[in-house]
């Protein structure tokens, strides 16, 4: 099977929207804070038009089978690098996983980042998503920072809970 990676175009918007929903469906089990229904992580039309973003499509023949983007962002002023590239919308159709497509997308984005003078790549992955973590570690990424969260009950729930304990 021949896989090619190319710059995404406006004609790819429907496939990109579908891939975005695939990512969200895969991530829902890891994030209880995602609201129900259709949501969008990214404004895909804006990403397509942004010169600081490289949005790519992986194809098998003429069928879109994956995607990803690199977005150049300013780094915090206390870091050693001035800017980094944030990788997002990293997705491969489940029918095509395990065939090195994500690696091909990453290599394409890395070349673009080097061309732009970027020396640091960043991405987010859910701590419980062990298969994604393994894939990124295999590609050379390492864990850097773990975000933590805690849900607080609202005041009404706290009052009821407090009353119930008395």
Return the residue matching tokens 């394409």: 108
pLDDT at 107 over 70: yes
DSSP state of 125: -
CATH superfamily of 3-165: Gcn5-related N-acetyltransferase (GNAT) (3.40.630.30)
Q: b/e string for 31-66 if b means 16 or more Cβ within 10 A?
A: eeeeeeeeeeebebeebbeeeebbbbbbbbeeebbb
* pLDDT tens-digit series, residues 3-46: 999 999 999 999 999 999 999 999 999 999 999 999 999 999 99
User: Per-domain residue ranges for the chain?
Assistant: 3-165
* pLDDT tens-digit series, residues 68-83: 999 999 999 999 999 9
**Around Cβ 30, how many Cβ atoms within 10 Å?**
13
């Amino acid at each position: 099977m021949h896989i090619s990676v190319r710059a995404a175009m406006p004609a790819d918007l429907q496939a990109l929207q579908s891939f975005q929903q695939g990512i969200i469906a895969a991530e829902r089990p890891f994030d209880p804070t995602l609201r129900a229904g259709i949501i969008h992580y990214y404004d895909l039309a804006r990403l397509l038009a942004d010169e600081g973003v490289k949005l790519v499509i992986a194809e098998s023949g003429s069928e879109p089978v994956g995607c990803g983007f690199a977005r150049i962002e300013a780094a915090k002023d206390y870091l050693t690098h001035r800017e980094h590239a944030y990788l997002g919308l990293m997705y491969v159709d489940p029918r095509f996983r395990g065939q090195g497509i994500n690696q091909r997308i990453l290599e394409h984005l890395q070349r673009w980042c080097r061309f732009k003078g970027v020396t640091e790549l960043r991405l987010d992955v859910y701590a419980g998503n062990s298969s994604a973590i393994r894939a990124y570690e295999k590609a050379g990424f390492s864990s850097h920072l773990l975000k933590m969260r805690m849900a607080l009950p609202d005041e009404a729930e706290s009052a009821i809970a407090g009353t119930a304990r008395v």
